[in-house]
Amino acid sequence: MSRKRQENWDRLQREYRRAVLAEYPNPERNGCPGAKALRDLVELSTRRGDVQKDPRWKHAVKCGPCYQEYIALRDLLFVG
């Protein structure tokens, strides 16, 4: 991927992360699957790739705290 494309992709992901936090703050963490479930989801997404039908994923993309935690776990486990 070119540097410009990577920068655009990174910017898009940051904007999406901000939007999820703003639209779905969930301060009480209602319905959250927990850290282990999110970690399992990260690992599953790297093996299979397609997690869109997984109920944990469906929750995470509509829950600011879970989405943040998912991204942090993904970055920790597979980027850094």
Over residues 2-61, the pLDDT tens digits come to: 999 999 999 999 999 999 999 999 999 999 999 999 999 999 988 877 888 999 999 999
Measured CA to CA, the distance from residue 50 to residue 73 in angstroms comes to: 17
Would the pTM count as exceeding 0.95? no
Q: What is the pLDDT at residue 46?
A: 83
Q: Please state, in angstroms and as integers, the Cα–Cα distance from residue 78 to each residue in 9, 28, 30, 54, 67, following that order.
A: 17, 28, 28, 20, 16
